[in-house]
Structure 1
Amino acid sequence: MHWGWIVFLILLYFLIPACLYLLVPESPTQEDLNRRQHAVVLVLGDLGRSPRMLYHALSLAKGDVRVTLCGYEGSKPLQEIQDHELITIQHIPVIENDNRLPFVLYAIQKVLKQHLILLKLLKKTNRPDFLVIQNPPSIPVLGVVRFFNLFISRRTRVVIDWHNFGYTILGLKLGSKHPLVFIAKYYERIFGRRAWIHLCVSVTMGRVLRTSFGLSGRRIIPLHDRPASAFKPLTEAERKLICKTHPLFNEFDASKDKCIISSTSYTPDENYQTLLDALKLYDQSSKKGLPNILCIVTGKGPLKDEFEQKVKECSFQRVMIKTAWLSMEEYPKIMACADLGISLHESSSGLDLPMKILDMFGCGVPVVAVDFLALFELVKTHKNGIIVTGAPEMATALTSLFSSQGKLDNLKRGAMRESRQGWDANWLEKVGPLFGVGEYRKAGSEEKELSSDDSDYE
């Protein structure tokens, strides 16, 4: 017999059972049917700084689903999450660049180690019913999850929550034409297509997933962020008490000064020079009667030292800038004390929506935000905020609002309307039925399509 035929028959021998393994549905055991549903919520990032994933975990746990919450140890999650009996937190070890390798070599080393760490972690979860993952980061999460879903736990339904695109963020660091960005782009498109359901933070992002990634429209669910219950307006008495007692408000006169707040992770997609330039223009304005401004910038990240150095170089008469890192319990209260929020998020893809704006709206605080493609879905100019394109427009907005209490009050009313739209009700309505949480949706055409089309994601 010709050697070619022998090789072909051997490959066929192994290929048939492999195909059967991948195509034949995995039957649930009696133990599977009797046990409480289990969901793994995975983010390859600091858990305390991943609010949307924390809210997913809490919503699932409130729906009587057992949750394993996986991510880096760092900032403390909400106390409610730490104390919940159905939520187990599993920390992922952080891989540091201890040998000071060049970025590309360190990235390769880091990704290889993360493959092993994530696979080991997922194997420990004992084949969960649902696996909810955040994207980005894409590498190596999407590939590892696909491998896990195919060869270890085919019963697990994978849900990708698209916050942005990983390759566009990498492009900010390396340049859009770098070979690694090209590889990351196709990695994300190939492995990102494979999931049971795709959640996304904006309708605009959903359209791109359908047109550029070739995803089925019925598997894409835009789920706008909403603030958690901790983000709520303060009474005037509560606000006065905080402004009187908290160290951040030293030298601040709540009766006549104005407070603006901006939260950040100090990354390249937020240009804080825009804020500094706008405050310089405001400070130099010849308009009479403008109040002094206390500008609070919360957060931490790689560019914080650079920003603080620039602040030291500024010389203001009407403006005072303070930086702070606040706990999850303290952060909403300080935010609710502000007269105006500032968002400098420019979006590497133009498709994500910054959670910080939702947090501000939750506290009833209107927003001045730097424009990008999808922002119109969230900020409505002259209704709940103002969209600007640069420092001069931002300075004009600050001058206009702080010289006319009527204009500021109008935006405040719009933000207060936004504060009534909470996360829980929105989550239960949009995605709760997919997890069997909340009131069961009757079997309509959408649900029938989802249940009959499960083989697509295999």
Structure 2
Amino acid sequence: MQHATVVVLGDIGHSPRMCFHVMSLTAKGIPVEFVGYQESKPNDRLLNDPLVTFVPISSPPASLSKLPSIFSLFIKLIWMLCTLSCALFYQTQFSTCLILVQNPPGVPTLLIAWIASKVKRAAFVIDWHNYTSSIIRYNYDLDAKNLTIARKFLKFIANFVARFEGYFGKCAKFNYCVSNSMRDDLKTKWNVNAVTHYDRPPSWKFKCLSVEEKHKFFWKLCDHPDFSSLISQKQEFIKTSSETTLFSYRDKDGVAKLRNDRPLLLISSTSWTKDEDFGILLDALRKYDTSPPPKRSSLMLPKIFVVITGKGPMKEQYLERINKIRWRYVTIVTPWLEAEDYPVMLGCADLGVSLHASTSGLDLPMKVVDMLGCRVPVLAKKFDAIGELVKPTNGKLFKSMEELCNLLVEMSAGFPDTSKVLTELKNQLMEEYSGSWEAQWDANFWPPIEGLLMSKMHEKRRRERFSDDGYSDESD
């Protein structure tokens, strides 16, 4: 049977789009070897899929980051070159018909995967999430003036990587990308023809929740170490109620209901890095928290309960800032959630915030896709391509802290009973249907791959037929 090989030179557990590709391929009966780092636990559905074989590779030692940039990049490159080559040439089967690669990171992934595709006579396919070159330029601030000699050399490397990406884009059998803006840029910049395959939430994972489902999760959080002291409530809210939380309760008939005095539940996910400036949200919340009492009263502004998920290098720095502020109307929690709890947490939210600022201006944040899949309106930081995802019918865009604060006030005014703008967006989201991941994948990704598999099958049968004919001639 023909196999497929999916490669991501990153943590498999934090590569949802590639995980969805793998599950979609196995749903068609195609065994998949999934190559990547295993630093966090993937989804149980993926782990329990009998057609998925994980091929783990070791990530570069964290200590390399302490070296000067040029030396660190060089040693990491050698490390990845060796580990990925070992995985693709010695730990995976030769009979693969497809090698699907995520870019970025493209160096050395594209080169090694392309060589492997030639050796194994497999189709080389690239899924473009962003550009490796744009990430290098952003991380090392290579567009600044008065660069040092070291940074000038890094800029030379970034320009070389851009040409490297473009070359292998033209070598690929098929190219897919995450936005129309990226599709057009690939064509203009490198004459690479790509098909836009938007991220969409899988129907089994991200969905709108009922009040009963929300209450069960809120009640579960009462035992969570990050939430228990904040959302557990005494039974005095309503004398005949039970299982009372900050957001919900059960009435005397055992029916789950949302509280009329609950805070607005706002959720955001961040990588805690400089390309996602959490300071914008923090400052906007601070300004909201210090709104004058007459304004709060006239607009009926609720308290806001903020859940920030994710991990990253600047998390502790921002936590120090959060803890130094004396909050009155805002509560901020930065919990660690299990993989199965994250989509439920999203489904319980009233509003989402995305701070993603693309290094290329062309990719789209998966976190926003997840929020919209749970029918949660989104406030997103503005950049070139974001309008393909966040539209007037499902959210609003902001550029600055002031704009974000104004949107928070606009959305929350009168919550939960008379929040006109937020309610209208939620209603439009409930009516709007942009398709599930499965429907999009079957329409965009599968047809050319199916054609490829059919041609491979016909070629194999033709070789077997010729081999049988030759054997018959010799026996005569």
TM-score, scaled relative to structure 1: 0.83
Distance 2:73 2:102 in 1: 19
Give 1:196's aligned amino acid: K
1:101 pairs with 59, 67, 90, which one? 67
Gaps of 5+ in 2: 144-150, 232-245, 248-258, 455-476
Q: 5 Å matches for 1:270-285?
A: 270-285=276-291
What secondary structure is seen at the aligned counterpart in 1 of 2:10? strand
Is residue 383 of structure 2 the alignment partner of residue 369 of structure 1?
no
Match of 2:332 in 1: 321
1:312 Cα deviation from its structure 2 partner: 1.8
Distance 1:240 1:189 in 2: 50
Give 2:390's aligned amino acid: V
Q: Which runs of 4+ in 1 moved over 6 A?
A: 437-440
2:47 pairs with 82, 88, 96, which one? 82
Match of 2:235 in 1: none
Call closer, same or farther: CA 1:284–1:95 in 2, change over 3 Å: same
Distance 2:451 2:318 in 1: 44
1:142 Cα deviation from its structure 2 partner: 1.3
Compare relative contact order (CA 8 Å, sep 6+) and give the higher one, 1 or 2. 1
Identity %: 36
Is residue 310 of structure 2 the alignment partner of residue 299 of structure 1?
yes
What secondary structure is seen at the aligned counterpart in 2 of 1:305? helix
1:96 Cα deviation from its structure 2 partner: 0.5
2:201 pairs with 198, 217, 227, which one? 227
Distance 1:83 1:145 in 2: 26
Match of 2:426 in 1: 412
1:438 Cα deviation from its structure 2 partner: 13
Distance 1:120 1:438 in 2: 26
1:328 Cα deviation from its structure 2 partner: 1.6
Call closer, same or farther: CA 1:313–1:168 in 2, change over 3 Å: farther
Distance 2:128 2:399 in 1: 25
Match of 1:244 in 2: 219
Is residue 232 of structure 2 the alignment partner of residue 264 of structure 1?
no
Q: Is the 8 A contact 1:159 1:197 kept in 2?
A: yes
Give 2:406's aligned amino acid: T
Q: Is the 8 A contact 1:172 1:268 kept in 2?
A: no
What secondary structure is seen at the aligned counterpart in 2 of 1:379? coil
2:407 pairs with 385, 397, 401, which one? 397
Bigger mean CA offset, 372-381 vs 101-110 = 101-110
2:93 pairs with 123, 126, 147, which one? 126
Bigger mean CA offset, 425-434 vs 367-376 = 425-434
What secondary structure is seen at the aligned counterpart in 1 of 2:305? strand
Give 1:321's aligned amino acid: I
1:330 pairs with 341, 350, 358, which one? 341
What secondary structure is seen at the aligned counterpart in 2 of 1:71? strand
Distance 1:416 1:37 in 2: 41
Residues 30-68 of structure 1: CA distance to partner in whole angstroms, max 9, x if unpaired?
Answer: xxxxxx221111101111110000000000000001101
What secondary structure is seen at the aligned counterpart in 1 of 2:19? helix
1:233 Cα deviation from its structure 2 partner: 1.2
1:419 Cα deviation from its structure 2 partner: 6.1
Q: Is the 8 A contact 2:283 2:401 kept in 1?
A: yes
TM-score, scaled relative to structure 2: 0.80
Is residue 205 of structure 2 the alignment partner of residue 191 of structure 1?
no
Indicate the RMSD between aligned Cα atoms, in angstroms.
1.9
Call closer, same or farther: CA 1:193–1:269 in 2, change over 3 Å: farther
Distance 1:418 1:39 in 2: 34
